[in-house]
């Protein structure tokens, strides 16, 4: 049986160890150089406080992660409307080669996200479905090469970084009876998002990066759900339409980045 002094010594040692572990985490986070690349889903469109031509918001998942983890440096390069070519030609050249952590959402604008949603808003079910199918064809034939080139450029610029590629959510709750789009249109758009995410996942694996899927986090919280994580059709400001709201970035995207990083 251990003496009282031995027990006390063990307790003190355990407490010191626990304190050391607890205080190590902020120091580790402070040693990270973080870069946020990508499009409007990374810049924070849909959330309050958007500013500048790139419409960046402090409620974006990237800015929230930086605020919570206090990285040594944070480059917020994500920009609304960005396509893969913008990442390669503008964002990657601007980022630090010493980056330790990089996050990105990209590919949605290449596949015609905005024009497809507009077609589905204004056209018939058949027109919407045809537009979504055209996007699926692009995703299957052209987007893979675009993604590969983008990921290669990121790896070449910051070969030591952990790169987290986040997916897009399914936009709509298809179970809602009353919604701004028909059930057929909602299912078509969600199927387009699924095809896009699956292609992104496959190219991320080929690049050796980390894929973080947000679809489960957004499940049950699509447009027209009781507690949506995405904005529906929005008049002011119009760019918020079909983008995550602050809850979507906080409860959908931020946990996905945190768990992957």
- The one catalytic residue in 40, 42, 43, 212 is 40
Q: What angle do CA 103, 137, 40 make, to 5 degrees?
A: 30
Q: Which residues contact 37 (CB under 8 A, 6 or more apart)?
A: 77, 78, 87, 91, 92, 95, 102, 103, 104, 106, 154
Active-site residue among 60, 243, 246, 259? Answer: 243
Instruction: List C-alpha distances in Å: 84 to 2, 105, 113, 180, 235.
Output: 65, 10, 13, 30, 28
Handedness of CA 235, 236, 239, 245 (dihedral sign): negative
User: Across the strands, what pairs with 212?
Assistant: 166
Contact of 251 with 217, CB cutoff 8 Å: yes
End-to-end CA distance of the chain: 44
**Euclidean distance between CA atoms 250 and 234, whole angstroms:** 20
Q: What tokens appear for 213 in the block?
A: 């899927």
3-class secondary-structure state, position 6:
helix
* 221 classed as catalytic: no
- Is 25 among the residues known to form the active site? no
Annotated active-site positions, please?
Answer: 40, 243
């Amino acid at each position: 049986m251990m003496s009282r002094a031995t027990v006390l010594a063990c307790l003190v040692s355990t407490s010191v160890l626990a304190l050391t572990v607890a205080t190590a985490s902020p120091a580790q986070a402070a040693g990270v150089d973080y870069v946020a690349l990508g499009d409007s889903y990374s810049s924070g469109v849909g959330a309050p406080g958007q500013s500048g031509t790139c419409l960046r918001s402090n409620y974006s998942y990237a800015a929230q992660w930086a605020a919570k983890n206090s990285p040594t440096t944070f480059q917020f390069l994500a920009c609304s409307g960005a396509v893969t070519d913008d990442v390669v030609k503008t964002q990657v050249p601007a980022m630090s080669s010493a980056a330790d952590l990089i996050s990105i959402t990209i590919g949605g604008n290449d596949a015609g996200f905005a024009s497809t949603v507009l077609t589905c808003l204004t056209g018939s079910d058949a027109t919407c479905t045809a537009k979504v199918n055209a996007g699926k064809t692009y995703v299957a034939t052209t987007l893979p090469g675009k993604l590969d080139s983008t990921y290669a450029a990121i790896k070449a610029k910051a070969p030591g970084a952990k790169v987290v590629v986040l997916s897009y959510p399914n936009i709509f709750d298809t179970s809602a009876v009353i919604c701004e789009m028909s059930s057929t249109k909602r299912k078509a758009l969600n199927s387009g998002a699924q095809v896009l995410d699956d292609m992104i996942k496959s190219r991320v694996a080929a690049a050796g990066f980390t894929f973080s899927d947000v679809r489960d986090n957004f499940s049950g919280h699509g447009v027209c759900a009781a507690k949506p994580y995405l904005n529906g059709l929005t008049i002011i400001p119009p760019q918020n339409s079909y983008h995550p709201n602050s809850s979507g970035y906080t409860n959908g995207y931020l946990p996905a980045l945190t768990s992957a990083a």
